[in-house]
Amino acid sequence: MTFDRSIKIAPSILSADFANFGAEIRAIEAQGADWVHVDVMDGHFVPNLTFGPPAVAAFRPHVKTVMDVHLMIAPVDPYIEAFARAGADIITAHVEAGPHIHRTLQAIRAAGCKAGVSLNPGTPVEAIENVIDIVDLVLVMSVNPGFGGQSFIESQVEKVARVRQLVGDRPVHIEVDGGITPVTAPKVVAAGADVLVAGSAVFKGGSVDRPEIYGANIRAIREAAEAARRG
C-alpha cells in the first residue's frame, strides 16, 4: 500500500448479503470500491455481534484491494495476531477500548499490519495526540458504532478538521465511518477526510445480480466528494 490523499471509497460489508460475502466483495470491487471495510463487533464494546477471525480469513481471497478491518471489540490485544493472520491489511482499534492504546497500536504494527486508531463521537481529538506518530490511519466515527443505517452526526465534521490539523504532513489517512452519503461525504472531505466508509449508501437498491447499482452508488459518493475537493 502506497500512501496518498486521493479519495477512497470503502464499502462496509455489514450491509452486504451475509449468505454471500465472496460474491458481494467481488461485486463491489468490480464496481469501483477502493478498499473493503470489515466491521468486527463483539456484543460488549458495541451492542452487536458480527465476524471473528475465521470469517475474516474466508473473505481474504476475495479481496483484491485493501482489507480494512475495524475492530469494535474490547479487549483488543488478545485478538490482534489472529486478525493479522486472517489477512487484514489495516487493523483499526478504538481508543476507548482499553487503557493501553499505545501498546495496542505497536502490537498491530509488530503483527505486520497498518495501524489505525478510532474515536467514538463523544471522544475528543486530544485522546489520540500522543499516538499520532505511530499510526497509519485515524478513523473518525460519525455515528455511535454498532449498526449500519444510522444518521450522520454533524458535530463530527469539526472533529475531522481538527484531526486533519493534528496529522499535518504525516502520511496518515483520515477515514470517516457512519451515515456517509453523497450529501455528507462532501462535508467530511472538505474538512480533510480521504477515506469514506459507506454501508447502506453503497448497497442500497443493489445485489450481486444487479451490481451496476453498487457502481452507481459508489460513483455518486465519489463524485460528490471530488467536487468538494475542487472547492
Contact of 28 with 202, CB cutoff 8 Å:
yes
CA 168 to CA 106: how far, in whole Å?
Answer: 21
Interface residues for ligand DX5 in 165-184 (CB under 6 A)?
Answer: 177-180
Interface residues for ligand DX5 in 50-109 (CB under 6 A)?
Answer: 70
Regarding 42 and contact with ligand DX5 (CB under 6 A), the answer is: no
> Residue 68 catalytic?
no
Pairing of strands 90-94, 67-72: parallel
CA 62 to CA 135: how far, in whole Å?
Answer: 26
Provide the grid cell at 45. Answer: 464494546
- 14, interface contact from Zn ion, ligand DX5, none, CB < 5-8 Å by kind: ligand DX5
C-alpha closest to that of 72 among 125, 14, 124, 129: 14
Regarding 39 and contact with ligand DX5 (CB under 6 A), the answer is: yes
Provide the grid cell at 11. Answer: 464499502
Catalytic residue, from 34, 89, 136, 177: name it: 177
> Residue 177 catalytic?
yes
**Which of 8, 9, 12, 119 touches ligand DX5 (CB under 6 A)?**
12
Determine the angle formed by the axes of helices 211-230 and 21-30, rounding to 10 degrees: 50
Interface residues with ligand DX5 (CB under 6 A) are: 12, 14-15, 37, 39, 70, 143, 145-150, 177-180, 197-201
- For the annotated catalytic residues, the residue numbers are 39, 177
Specify binding-site residues for a divalent metal cation: 37, 39, 70, 177
